[in-house]
A and B are shown apart, each in its own frame.
Chain A
Amino acid sequence: MSFTRWPRQQWAPALAVGLAALATIFLANGLWMKVLTSVAIFTLTAMSVALLYRRLGQISLGHVALMGLGGWVALRFSHGFSLPFELNLLAGGVVAGLVGVALAYPALRMRGLYLSLVTLMAAGGFSIVVNNTQFPNGADGFLGFAVRATAYMPRPVLAQSDAAYFIYCLVVTGLGFLLVHLHEAGKPGRAWALIRRSEATAMAAGVNVTLYKVWGFALSGFLAGAAGALLAGSLQLLDAHSFPPADSVMICALTIVGGAWNWFGALIAALLFRLAPALLNDWGLNGNAAYIFFGLALIHALATAPRGVAGKLEEALAAGNRK
C-alpha cells in the first residue's frame, strides 16, 4: 500500500473531514458531540455495508442487527470480565464477524435479492430475540439483564470524557478504513475484483472463491460488530429497541445514496442517517421528514448516479483539478 497512489481528489475530502472533526472537538456542546460521535460510529457501519456491495456485489439489509450483536457481546464481556474496553471492542467485532461467516454460507448459494432477503430476515429475527433478552446491564446470569440493575459500561481509560470519546471513535473508524484499504490494495482485493466480475473466471484464475467470499463477509461483520461495541461505549448501555430491521434497511439505502465506491461515501451516509434528522429537529422541522428526501435520493442514485453523492463530488473535484 502506498499513499502516493491516492488520486489527488481524495485529499480535499480528507482535509475537509479533518477540519470538521477539529471544529467539532472545539465547538460542539454536549448534544452535538453525541450526535457527531454516533455519526463517526455509523460511518464504520456504512463502510462495512459498502465493502460487501463494492467488492462482492452483495447488498446486506441486516448490518444494524450485526451492530446490535457486537454491542451485546461487548456489554456482556465488559460486565462479565471487567476487561479493558479495547478487548470488549475486539470481542464484539469477532463475534459479529463469525456471524458474518454464517451469513456467507447462504451467500455461497444465493446472491442478489435472495441473499438480501436472508439478511433482512436475520435482522427481523434479531430484533425480536433482543427485545426478549435485552442488553446486559450488570446483572447476574448469562443474559446479564435485570430490570432494576443499571451498571454502565466503562469507557476506555484514554477516553473518559465525551470529547475524548469522540476522538477515540474517529481513530477506530480511521483504523477500520485502513484495514479495508489494506485488504483492497492486497491479495484479497484482487480476488474480490475477479469474483465480482465473474465467479467462474475467478475460479479459472485460481482464486479460492469460497475462501475470499467468506473472508469478505467476516471482515464486514467484524467492522459492524466493532461499530456496535463503540455505540455501547458511547451510550454506556444499550436499548433493545435501538436496532430495528428498519434501521438496517435505512443504513443500506443511505450507503448507496452516499456512494459505496468512495471512502467518504460512508461518511456521507452516516451524516445523512444521524446528523440530518437532528439538524431538522433543531430547526423545528420534523426530523422524520428527511425520509422524503432519503427515498427520492435513493431512487435517483439507483437510476442515474450509481456512485452516489461521493461519486458526484469526486467528479466535480476532478473536473476542478483539470482546469
Chain B
Amino acid sequence: MAFWLFLMSGLAVGALYALGGVGLVLLNRATGVLNFAYGALGALGAMCAWQAMQWGWPEPCAWALSMAIGLAISLGFGALVAPALAKREPIVKALATLGLALSLLGVMNLLWVVTPRRLSLAYDALSIDLGGLRITATRLLALAAGLAVTGLMGLFLARTRVGLMMRAIAENREAAAILGAPIRKVEALAWGLSGLLAGFTGMLFGDLVRLDPAVLTFMVIPIVATTVVGRLTSIPVTFAAGLFIGAVESLSALAPPLAPFRLASPFVVAIFMLLWLNRGRALTFADKD
C-alpha cells in the first residue's frame, strides 16, 4: 500500500519535471539550442504574476501575463542573439542561454528583495483523494498539461507542414534553407512556443516548488536531467523520463539508507543514461558531439 502511495506522489512530482523537460526538448529539436534560461523565463513570469496578483489582478490575467513575458523574452532572444550563434557548436549556444539566465536572475534580484513569498492559485483548493493520498488539482494540471503538450507536439511535428520544416531544420539547417524552409520564421515559432510553455510551467513551479527567483532559475538543472534521457530530442521519452525520475525520487524515500539522497535521483539517472547511451563509442573518429 505504501508503495502505491509513494508511487502516486512520485508521479505527481515527476509531472513537473516532465512538463519542464518537454518544453526544453521542443526548442532543442527545432533550433538545436538547449535553453538553460528556461527556468529563469518561468521564474520571471511567475514573479511578475505574483506581483500582479498582489496588485489585485484577477488570476487568469496573471497567468496570461506570465506566459506573455515568457513569450516576449524567449522570442526576443531567439530573434536577436540566437541567429548570431547559429553556426556554432551546441555547447556555445547553450552557454549563451546561460548568459540570458544570469541576466534575468540579476534583474529579478534587483526588482524583488529575497523574502519568503507564496504564489497561491485557485486550483490549490481543489483536490482529489486517491486511496488516502490527496493530490491537488495543480499537480493534476501539471500532469495533464505535460500529456497534452507531448501529444500535441508529436502530432504537430509529424503531421503539419511547419512541423516537417522544424524537423528538417533541426536535421540540417543549411540544407533546409536551400530547400526553401523559412528558417527564421520557423525558429521564431519554436522560440515563442517554448517561451509560452516556460511561462506556464513557471506558474506551476512557483506554486508547487517555491516562489524564489534563484530556486526556480536553477530548477533547470534537474529538468535538463530528464531531457538527457530522451537524448535531447525525443519528447515522449523525455515525458516518460520525468515521470520515472519523479517515481524513483519518491520511492527511494522507502529505503532508509537512500532516503536522504533522493533529491540526487535526476542526476544519477541522467549520468547513467548518458554513459549507457554512449557505451562502446570511441570519439577519435567521430565528427559530431
Contact = CB atoms under 8 A, between A and B. Distances in A.
B90 A113 contact: yes
Nearest to B278: A109
Interface residues of B, number: 51
A124 B289 contact: no
B11 interface: no
B94 A200 contact: no
Nearest to B279: A109
Interface stretch (A139-147, A153-161, A163-171, A287-295): A287-295
A303 B96 contact: yes
Nearest to B284: A199
Interface string B88-118: 1111101110111111111101100000000
Contacts of A109: 275, 278-279, 281-283
A125 B36 CA distance: 18
B85 interface: yes
Given A124-B264, A199-B284, A302 B221 contact: no
B153 interface: no
A289 B224 contact: no
B282 A108 contact: yes
Contacts of A112: 89-91, 289
Interface stretch (B45-53, B177-185, B265-273): B265-273
A288 to B, nearest CB: 4
Nearest to A119: B271
A117 B269 CA distance: 12
Q: What interface size band does chain A fall in?
A: 35 or more
A59 B91 CA distance: 8
B118 to A, nearest CB: 22
A18 interface: no
Interface string B250-289: 0000000000110110111011001100110111110001
A253 B106 contact: no
Interface string A110-132: 11111011101110110011001
Contacts of B263: 128
Interface of A: 59, 106, 108-114, 116-118, 120-122, 124-125, 128-129, 132, 199-200, 203, 209, 244-246, 249-250, 252-253, 256, 286, 288-299, 302-303
